Structure 1
């Protein structure tokens, strides 16, 4: 360190230094370099030496200088360090840090999905089909989630709250679903036969048969067939788009060769609702030969492939076909018009059935009142309904529809809402009267 001062100051500094030399330690020395302009001090400070702790010295390896050209490659392969027993240092437990917990990795034979979840273990033995149960396969969290509601206000609230608020279906939707649940009733033990009959022609019996069959086929998932058993040249097949010219006579003649449903489909026509229609004989001379035995052959074929068979009966109530039809009937539908004579003849049909041992069918019967007939606006339909309610189980009123009044092909999708609602109600009340389980 060098400092420039004036001469008087230098002399006083030297005097002070001389007076303090007696008190300095032996490690510090002061040298004065004679100069007229500067004074230089040289300080010798003690060097700080780091002492190695005992636990480090115990495991330390002595540095040994090695000459490069004397290095043995074999000796460099391994290095052996010997520890003396007295050099082992015991570290107190409190100074040892806690070991980190590392999660166990999944085994190599259990792959994970892209979301990181482990897949279900694969059994070593093949599984049977019975092990694929709903409890095992269906996600219970998604299964218990309520479906989206139906109805304008309900759907609006459900969408506005990002599916958090579900008000449920509207009242009309709940009524419709309840009606459809009645139509989709499950049956066990064979085909259910439902004849549609009346003693008077022109009241819409064939139209009611088509509506009932279409409503059932449109709602249910199983197979529905409508059989035209009218011996007087029925027109049921003309209510749908015909796809074949086969009739009940072809079924009787080919009964032994119709083994599968695919083969039976060649003799029936199917409409847009999946209703199969079997036409009656078109030749009036041949139709007289369609008797009780022939109907039983057709009914046996229908019983092999269908859940519900609706029979469009003719006006000949004493015909032998009617006897076979009623023997297989599980419930009946009586069609009445809106006029006085039509209602009276429908009531007389019930009386004939009661007189011929079919009281149970009458009590379980359903009366369909076709309001499209002439004179409906002039009579009191409430009085007609009150009369039939005293004799049968249910009454259903079918409204007027221009699509039905033409007497041509019926397109179920084009019917008015009230007409389709009445057809669904008719199907529901008919299904209510059919036994769920039949014991043969």
Structure 2
């Protein structure tokens, strides 16, 4: 596995006396001016670079215990791409921990194909081994990508199709919790699906993915209403809506209007621009292939989730019953 370039190399981080990291402009005219004057003129970070630094700090914050974020959305809105991207950002910036993406979409989920198409294990291999103890045992049953994100596929690599049920999901999640700090769970499109309801029981954050069009936003709004109607206002307060332009045809006025509507409901809303790298359906690379503007948006989304994690009291999980 090829190691991803360290974030500090991209962000312009120097190591000062005592090993202290000092952030320098890493790009743009500020960086060029500093280089041209041999460091004599240093205007510091731009507002955008300061925001990125703050987001990275939030993502790297110390966490104790296990944390889970679910990703939901109707088919075709880029839900799986969002899940893989968030997981990759977490994994890249939290090298001290292990991060796993879990495919809990029973409708032929494709999460493994966006992270590691060669992943050979699935829920059934993971849960069938009663002697599973070490991380090496688990590692043999999950795939991984260059960012350091692991993935548990939803379908067996060979043989007849097997349908995931809540009991198998729960057993696999318990086993993964022994070795992974953060789990990013790609859910199905229906909130009423038994596996999705099992996932929702102990989430620390939720991402609702929507297209930047009225029909997609309507489906996302219904998801938020479903949470409220089922007494999950706690999770609703830890939910971020992602308006994902998956095909490049979004209308700016419509997108802004939809974002304002979600903001007015009290939701965090982040817009992700169209990125050709996310469209074809191959492996997602948040470093070499993803456009910088897209990466910045996923950095922002991941930071929002990390702040939800940090707000949970240490050692306390949210109630599992509704």
Relative to the length of structure 2, the TM-score reads 0.83
Unaligned runs of 5+ in 1: 1-140
Distance, in Å, in 1 between the alignment partners of 2:159 and 2:272 is 31
Distance, in Å, in 2 between the alignment partners of 1:148 and 1:394 is 28
* 2:28 matches 1:153: no
Give the secondary structure class of the aligned counterpart of 2:274.
coil
Distance, in Å, in 2 between the alignment partners of 1:380 and 1:399 is 14
Distance, in Å, in 2 between the alignment partners of 1:167 and 1:399 is 29
* 2:49 matches 1:173: yes
Distance, in Å, in 2 between the alignment partners of 1:233 and 1:350 is 24
* 2:177 matches 1:297: no
Distance, in Å, in 2 between the alignment partners of 1:226 and 1:235 is 12
1:316 deviates by 3.0
Give the secondary structure class of the aligned counterpart of 2:205.
coil
Unaligned runs of 5+ in 2: 1-15, 26-30, 317-322
Hey, what does 2:132 align to over in structure 1? 258
Distance, in Å, in 1 between the alignment partners of 2:274 and 2:36 is 35
Q: Which has the higher contact order (CA 8 A, sep 6+)?
A: 2
Contact kept in structure 1, 2:58 and 2:307, CA below 8 Å: yes
Distance, in Å, in 2 between the alignment partners of 1:170 and 1:423 is 19
Deviation per residue, 1:360-413 (Å, 9 max, x gap) = 111221001111247522761111111111334311111101111112222222
Hey, what does 1:234 align to over in structure 2? 109
Distance, in Å, in 2 between the alignment partners of 1:146 and 1:368 is 32
Instruction: Count matched residues.
Output: 292
1:156 deviates by 4.3
Distance, in Å, in 2 between the alignment partners of 1:422 and 1:383 is 19
CA gap of 1:262–1:145, structure 2 versus 1, over 3 A, is: closer
Hey, what does 2:308 align to over in structure 1? 433
CA gap of 1:332–1:144, structure 2 versus 1, over 3 A, is: closer
Hey, what does 2:11 align to over in structure 1? none
1:271 aligned residue (145, 152, 170) = 145
1:59-208 to 2 correspondence within 5 Å?
Answer: 142-143=17-18, 147=22, 149-150=24-25, 151-157=31-37, 159=38, 168-188=44-64, 190-198=65-73, 200-208=74-82
1:167 deviates by 5.6
Q: Which has the larger radius of gyration?
A: 1
Hey, what does 1:342 align to over in structure 2? 216
Distance, in Å, in 2 between the alignment partners of 1:384 and 1:235 is 28
* 2:94 matches 1:220: yes
Deviation per residue, 1:12-61 (Å, 9 max, x gap) = xxxxxxxxxxxxxxxxxxxxxxxxxxxxxxxxxxxxxxxxxxxxxxxxxx
Deviation per residue, 1:207-234 (Å, 9 max, x gap) = 1101111111122222111000111220
Give the secondary structure class of the aligned counterpart of 1:367.
strand
Contact kept in structure 1, 2:119 and 2:141, CA below 8 Å: yes
Q: Which is worse superposed, 370-379 or 235-244?
A: 370-379
* 2:281 matches 1:407: yes
* 2:84 matches 1:210: yes
Distance, in Å, in 1 between the alignment partners of 2:35 and 2:21 is 13
* 2:238 matches 1:358: no
Distance, in Å, in 2 between the alignment partners of 1:213 and 1:146 is 25
CA gap of 1:180–1:144, structure 2 versus 1, over 3 A, is: closer
Give the secondary structure class of the aligned counterpart of 1:276.
strand
Give the secondary structure class of the aligned counterpart of 1:242.
coil
1:250 deviates by 1.3
Hey, what does 1:137 align to over in structure 2? none
Deviation per residue, 1:108-143 (Å, 9 max, x gap) = xxxxxxxxxxxxxxxxxxxxxxxxxxxxxxxxx942
Contact kept in structure 2, 1:339 and 1:373, CA below 8 Å: no
Larger fraction in strand: 2
Contact kept in structure 2, 1:338 and 1:371, CA below 8 Å: yes
Hey, what does 2:3 align to over in structure 1? none
CA gap of 1:156–1:246, structure 2 versus 1, over 3 A, is: same
